[in-house]
Chain A
Amino acid sequence: MIIAQQKQIKEIAAMVSDCKKVALIGCAGCVTVCLSGGEKETEIMAAALRIMRKLEGNPVETITFTATRQCDPEYVEALDGVVKDADAIISLACGVGVQYLAERFDKWVVPALDTNFIGGSKVHGVWEEKCGMCGDCVLHKTGGICPIIRCSKSILNGPCGGSQYGKCEISKDVDCAWQLIYDRMKSLGKLDKLMAIQPPKDWTKSRDGGPRRAVREDVMIG
């Protein structure tokens, strides 16, 4: 899922300081699961914003609603009535949701979250980055551990000379992905596969090829 974290409430408040009626739109997708932009977080943020603004002598009215998904026109269109009277929209979705709302509504739309990465939960309250979205998966070559995002240098023929005691040179809190890859390949009896020199990556499949698009004609309607 997409992992996102809330911005500081003061930063969000500053984005809508001149608005009198603000719609806070949560998302029931990934950000609900990672506890940053679901129904509960949306209501808390609305209350915090109201309190701040009242203390400043500039009260604000809030509307809260949580969309099923903000990354789908179907659910975004359903917000028409909700945001009708608002002079700004605060989206508690990932960057995708913010853009869908901005595209749909002729209003000031601002992000309440910083979209961090795609990953999963380690334990409740801890999420870890796992995929670099490079568009050309190499996990079959690296024992199921992604060197693109989990190695701080995205090295395909690692580990670099900064790997020591299983940790990355950038921090003792960061595992060296290539140590993990080595250990895993060793336990699978496939160390010989690491002797192949991995060629340079074709980054056109990644962000470097420009904004990406996925099309499945077989499921398109009409």
Chain B
Amino acid sequence: MRLQYATNIRIVEMTCSGNIDHRVILNAFEEGADGVFVAGCMEGDCHFLKGNIRARKRVNAVKKLLDEIGIGGDRLEMYNLSSAQGGRFAEIANDITAKIKDLGPNPLFKNSSCCGCSCSKEGGDQ
């Protein structure tokens, strides 16, 4: 499969979605990400039994925090899909990209021409 999906997505690999903590997500926003999409395994299919269920709880907590600090919790979403669902991954990636585009750029970098830091925001809208 050589599926196309939005090129401005940068993938950060984790051993398990359950390993994601608040810091990783906050760091992504501080470094310039406009949105974060957490991809966990299908519920019931976690190699570590409950990693993806815990990840969702944590994602919800970070969404709340993002609301409180002004980034907006809707810039963060979690989806469950298996590694065999390449098509579904591309679909979600495109949906998320469209949604985040609607929300506009990361408010931390609203006034700067680029993301304002050293991180790469490859692709962009080209």
Q: Spell out A's residues near B (CB within 8 Å).
A: 8-10, 40, 43-44, 47-48, 50-52, 54-56
Contact = CB atoms under 8 A, between A and B. Distances in A.
Contacts of A52: 69-70
A44 B69 CA distance: 12
Contacts of A10: 68
Interface residues of B, number: 14
Interface stretch (B1-9, B20-28, B78-86, B92-100): B20-28
Interface of B: 21-23, 26-27, 29-30, 65, 68-71, 107-108
Contacts of A44: 21-23, 26, 65
Main secondary structure of the interface of A (DSSP, over half): helix
A47 B28 CA distance: 11
Nearest to B108: A54
A60 to B, nearest CB: 12
B54 to A, nearest CB: 10
B109 to A, nearest CB: 9
Given A8-B68, A48-B69, A55 B107 contact: yes
Contact of B30 (A8, A51, A56): A51
B68 A51 contact: no
Given A44-B22, A51-B29, A9 B71 contact: no
A9 B69 contact: yes
A55 B70 contact: yes
Contact of B23 (A8, A47, A54): A47
A48 B73 CA distance: 13
A159 B65 CA distance: 42
Given A40-B21, A44-B26, A51-B30, A9 B65 contact: yes
A48 B27 CA distance: 10
A40 B108 contact: no
B1 to A, nearest CB: 37
Nearest to B29: A51
B23 A40 contact: yes
Contacts of A8: 68
Contacts of A40: 21-23
Given A40-B21, A55-B107, A55-B108, A47 B30 contact: yes
A51 B108 contact: yes
Contacts of A55: 69-71, 107-108
Nearest to A53: B69
B2 to A, nearest CB: 37
Nearest to A50: B30
14 contacts: A8-B68, A9-B65, A40-B22, A43-B23, A44-B21, A44-B22, A44-B26, A47-B27, A48-B65, A48-B68, A50-B30, A51-B70, A52-B70, A55-B108
A8 B65 CA distance: 10
Nearest to A41: B22
B107 to A, nearest CB: 6
Contacts of A56: 70
